[in-house]
Amino acid sequence: MLSFFVIIDIYGGDTLIVGVLVEISAKAVDKVFEYSVPCELEKDIKVGIRVSVPFGRMTLEGFVMEIKNSKSTDKELKEIIDVVDKDIVLNSELLELGKVMRDNTLSTLISCYQVMLPKALKAGNTGNIKYYTYYKLNNDYDKSLKFNDTQKKIIDMVSKGSVIRKDLVDISLSSLNTLIKKGVLLEEKSEHYRVNYSNEEFVKPVLTNEQQAVVDSVIGETNTYLLYGVTGSGKTEVYMEIIEHYLNMGKTSIVLVPEISLTPQMIDRFEKRFGKKIAAIHSGLSDGEKYDEYRRIARGEASIVIGARSAVFAPLKNIGIIIIDEEHSDSYKQSDPSPRYHARDIAILRSKYHKCSVLLGSATPSLESMARGEKGVYKLLSLPHRVNGKELPKVSIVDMNKEIKRSKGHFSSILINSINDRLEKKEQIILLLNRRGYSSFVTCKNCGYTFKCPNCDITLTYHKSSNTLRCHYCGYGGKVVDTCPECKEKALNNLGVGTQKIEEELNKLFNCRVLRMDFDTTSKKGMHEKMIESFKNHEYDILLGTQMVAKGLDFSNVTLVGVINADTSLNIPDFRSSENTFSLLNQVAGRSGRSEKTGTVVIQTYNPEHYAISLCEKHDYISFYKQEMMIRRSLKYPPYYYICNIRVSGKDSNYILSEALKIKNSLERNFSSTIILGPSSSSLFKMNNTYRYNIILKYKKEDNLYNVLSKVLDHYKTNPKIKVDIDFNPSQMI
């Protein structure tokens, strides 16, 4: 680099020219534009930095993609305006990765780079590190002091070992301040994110033989591994042991977890073991805090990054291992906006660059990954038992068809009795209300029957406007009838029940304290953590919630998990609905009996015979996998076929449909073996006055695929009336 600038100095007549990719994510603009560099900025110019440039009448920011020098007389180029950030924001690995992503997802290059960076960096906004204030008990406080009820409550909380984080509690600040003044509480500032304070020495558990064997395999050979380990089998301990191995070698690690399970409990476990080497990126951080964490990572101050999907782009150097926990989770696929990438694919790409291993872990691996494991594309490892001989919880499946007369509201007599039993024993309960896919389908209240597409075996979606049932894969349409074809009862409904209703029922049926956790009650920043903390402190008996309560939580006093309605997620119009249901039920069951006390699980269902439900009884993932694979094969779904969704949307539904048909026709002319379905109206057919149609491709191998699809995108890229989006391996069909 140095010699390069010397040459410029000597021959003064040359100008530095840079290729800049500007920040407009439109297909039509997605290319590198050339600018010249004014002398005073030359010394700061590097590939991968951010600059501001004139673009038409606007000033835009962009990334320097390349540097060349040329005779100033070559052409009249505009000059860059400024260097926004002297540090490199995209290193050479990430610059290359972006190009591969663009090619694999058919998105714009700029969108691929933007998704790698924290928001604050994009705005050029440099936030300061925020410190959290914690309060803990001063053990030597004057016991003769008198306290009011609020103060007593606070003292009680901290005496149990809790630490109060100022921004997470809604107890009065004046009480807190009084307690500090009286020397009862000690204030502590920390940059770190944690809920529990613990001054006990960290003791690393001795790994079981099964765990040690997994660790030895992974550190023994560079590969992509799939670890199938039942809930509570000690996967997280295995991850930490592997990370420590690489840490000792001076290497870094990435751990991806679904956002929902990125709880304080999880982060706390890693921080206890690795302290300040951890950078945790989670939704509880402000944009400024995310930026700070990102900077720590880029500067090499953190060696272990934990975060959700986008943490896969963490700018670590010298990576030793990339771990994806709960690898089956659909949160690893970005659906909207583009780039529609899967974190698993990015992890594998990065592992090639770093010559490191990838470890995918799950109690219910995705069918795609398990199939690759069986074929040997991934190396399969397993932890079939819970640690130290602990049993998996006993699962009872309750047939709600038979219970209907004995049940009260949404509660079967079995679930009612189990709840009463736990309340008496002062043990805690988690209740799952399965809300996925509610109210878009019609189901029979009497027998649980749902209407399915005769071609695709996909639940038909109810369209209120036309009072019809439609298949979103192939477009099949059916009339809504009012008697159930199965049991002949007039009991069809399409109404869902909410958590609030269940909460009311609980309060009527039991004398208990219910904590409701759903998207409404957790939308306020910090509420999620606060709820987890108060449930842990046994301020509540029952934690009632949506999917949020199913993952990652570890409460030793929870001995009963109840599922109010196992079926709803079975009815989502998606070929993965059985897989998602099995995995959700298995996950939530895994929350029960994680400590000394044995746990039980009660699953209420109208479809007790459905394999996605009946196989939960014995936690039998392998049988589920086999059965589901047979269905996938016969209906030509992944992992036997790839799926690609082409979404065509716009305000004029007639125009959109006719263009969608044209696209389909041209695809039919160009593809040889691909199955083309649709165009069919999407399950979110009309959104914000925009109509959406899907064309679904099923293919095994289609040489022309990317070529043809990018021509389709090119054809429409400047047409404002229509938007074409392509999603390879979509995680959901909307």
The CB-of-384 to Zn ion minimum distance in angstroms stands at 38
Out of 453, 492, 502, 564, the residue judged to bind Zn ion by CB under 5 A: 453
* Closest CB to ligand ADP among residues 265, 418: 265
Question: Is residue 151 close enough to count as binding ligand ADP by CB under 6 A?
Answer: no
Cβ-based nearer residue to Zn ion, 283 or 455: 455
Residue 387 found at the interface with ligand ADP (CB under 6 A): yes
Question: Which of 301, 345, 341, 302 is closest to 322 using CA atoms?
Answer: 345
Task: Tell me the C-alpha distance between 64 and 42, whole Å.
Answer: 12
- Chain Cα centroid distance, residue 474: 28
**List 111, 208, 581, 681, residue binding ligand ADP (CB under 6 A):** 208
Task: Select the span of 77-85, 419-427, 452-460, 516-524 touching Zn ion (CB under 5 A).
Answer: 452-460
Q: How far is the CB of 456 from Zn ion (least distance, A)?
A: 3
Does 233 participate in binding ligand ADP (rule CB under 6 A)? yes
Please say whether the beta carbons of 348 and 606 come within 8 A.
Answer: no
Instruction: Give buried/exposed letters for 225-258 (b at 16+ CB in 10 A, else e).
Output: bbbbbbbbbbbbbbbbbbbbbbbeeebbbbbbbb
Among 375, 359, 383, residue whose Cα is nearest residue 218: 359
Residue 73 burial by Cβ neighbours in a 10 Å radius (0-12, 13-18, 19+): exposed
User: Given candidates 431, 432, 444, 456, which one binds Zn ion under the rule CB under 5 A?
Assistant: 456
Least distance between ligand ADP and beta carbon 256 (Å) = 14
Rule CB under 6 A: is residue 258 a binding residue for ligand ADP?
no
| Residues 561-600 close enough to bind Zn ion by CB under 5 A | none
Residue 645 is a binding residue for ligand ADP (CB under 6 A): no
The whole-angstrom separation of Cα 542 and Cα 419 is 9
Determine contact, residues 379/373, Cβ cutoff 8 Å.
yes
Token output for 351: 């592992």
The item of ligand ADP, Zn ion, none sharing an interface with residue 175, based on CB under 5 to 8 Å by kind, is: none
Q: Give the dihedral of Cα atoms 98, 101, 106, 112; nearest 10 deg.
A: -40
Q: How many CA atoms does the CB half-sphere of 608 hold within 13 Å?
A: 14
* Binding status of residue 536 toward ligand ADP by CB under 6 A: no
Range in contact with ligand ADP (rule: CB under 6 A) among 227-235, 410-418, 478-486, 683-691: 227-235
In whole angstroms, the minimum distance from the beta carbon of 213 to ligand ADP comes to: 12
Q: Which does 474 bind (CB under 5 to 8 A by kind): ligand ADP, Zn ion, none?
A: Zn ion
> How far apart, in whole angstroms, are the C-alpha atoms of residue 245 and residue 320?
9
Q: Give the binding range for Zn ion (CB under 5 A) out of 209-217, 256-264, 445-453, 722-730.
A: 445-453
Residue 362 β-bridge partners: 228
Site string for ligand ADP, 167-206 (x = CB under 6 A): --------------------------------------xx
Min CB(556)–ligand ADP separation in Å: 8
235 makes contact with ligand ADP (CB under 6 A)? yes
d(CA 56, CA 53): 10
Give the sign of the dihedral formed by CA 272, CA 195, CA 434, CA 282.
negative
Residue 476 CA to residue 470 CA, distance in Å, equals 6
The entry of Zn ion, ligand ADP, none near residue 121 (CB within 5 to 8 angstroms by kind) is none
Which of positions 181-210 make contact with Zn ion (CB under 5 A)? none
Q: Count other C-beta atoms under 10 Å from residue 423's C-beta.
A: 18
Q: How many residues bind Zn ion (CB under 5 A)?
A: 7
CB closer to ligand ADP out of 236 and 571 = 236
* CA 239/CA 215 separation, integer angstroms: 8
> In the complex, what is the shortest distance from the CB of residue 530 to ligand ADP, in angstroms, rounded to a whole number?
22
Under rule CB under 6 A, residue 362 binds ligand ADP:
no
Q: Which of 151, 217, 224, 231 binds ligand ADP (CB under 6 A)?
A: 231
- Helices 235-248 and 264-274 sit at what angle, rounded to 10 degrees? 40
- Could you say whether residue 213 binds ligand ADP (CB under 6 A)? no
Q: Residues of 363-388 as b/e, b for ≥16 C-beta within 10 angstroms? A: bbbbbbbbbbbeeeebbbbbbebbbe
d(CA 441, CA 572): 8
Residue 231 touches which member of Zn ion, ligand ADP, none, C-beta under 5-8 Å by kind: ligand ADP
Smallest gap from residue 387 Cβ to ligand ADP (A): 4
Q: How many residues does the chain have?
A: 734
Q: Any idea which residue has 């109840």 for tokens?
A: 562
Among the listed residues 62, 118, 229, 264, the single contact to ligand ADP using CB under 6 A = 229
Per CB under 5 A, 473 contacts Zn ion? yes
What is the nearest approach in angstroms of Zn ion to the Cβ of residue 461? 11
Among 254, 471, 603, 709, binds Zn ion (CB under 5 A): 471
Q: Is 716 helix (H, G, I), strand (E, B) or coil?
A: helix
Residue number with CB closer to Zn ion (118 or 679): 679
Q: Which of 211, 443, 580, 649 binds ligand ADP (CB under 6 A)?
A: 211
Backbone phi, then psi, for 678, in 5-degree steps?
95, -165
CA 20 to CA 18: how far, in whole Å?
6
232 is a site residue for ligand ADP (CB under 6 A): yes
> Which amino acid is present at 678?
G
From its phi and psi, is residue 665 left (phi > 0), alpha (psi between -120 and 50) or beta?
alpha
Interacting residue with ligand ADP among 234, 373, 393, 448 (CB under 6 A): 234
- Smallest separation (angstroms) from Zn ion to the CB of 680: 8
476 binds, among ligand ADP, Zn ion, none (CB under 5 to 8 A by kind): Zn ion
The answer to whether 175 and 151 are in contact (CB under 8 A) is yes
When CB distances are held under 5 to 8 angstroms depending on the partner's kind, the choice from Zn ion, ligand ADP, none that residue 471 binds is: Zn ion
Which residues is 677 bridged to in the sheet?
696
- Give the footprint of Zn ion on this chain (CB under 5 A): 453, 455-456, 471, 473-474, 476
- Give the footprint of ligand ADP on this chain (CB under 6 A): 205-208, 211, 229, 231-237, 387-388, 554
